[in-house]
Amino acid sequence: MAERVGRDEFEGRVLSNGKLSLIEFYHDGCVACKMLSPVLAEIEEKYGEQLYVGKVNTVYEEELTEEYKVKASPTLIFFKDGRPLLKLIGTQKKNELEKIIEENL
């Protein structure tokens, strides 16, 4: 299950962890976010130590939401080498996410 990440942990867990990260910006009432959760769990299980998967709650983490210009939920942002690599808005298919992951590992 993707770990919830806040401002205090974001630098260490996402930006300076030395690996590709996939972060979902979500909020609790988002139906599409709930539909995406099992997909992210499968991806996290498949890629294990190669990929960090985390979640940022847009309601409680307004500063991160604004910093990364998140306007809709869910928004997925891939991070690599401390910077945003790619932003996807809305639910995504598992095979499309895996393609992006494979290209960037």
- Cβ proximity of 56 and 23 under 8 Å: yes
Catalytic residue among 14, 22, 33, 97: 33
Indicate if 34 belongs to the active site. Answer: no
- Beta-sheet pairing, 83-89 with 75-80: antiparallel
Of 39, 18, 30, 13, residue with least CA distance to 70: 30
- How many helices and strands in the chain, by DSSP H and E? 4, 5
Helix (H), strand (E) at residue 31: helix 31-47
The DSSP annotation for 32-44 comes to HHHHHHHHHHHHH
Q: Kindly name the residue from 15, 30, 32, 100 that is annotated as catalytic.
A: 30
Please indicate whether residue 30 is annotated as part of the active site: yes
Mind telling me the catalytic residues? Answer: 30, 33
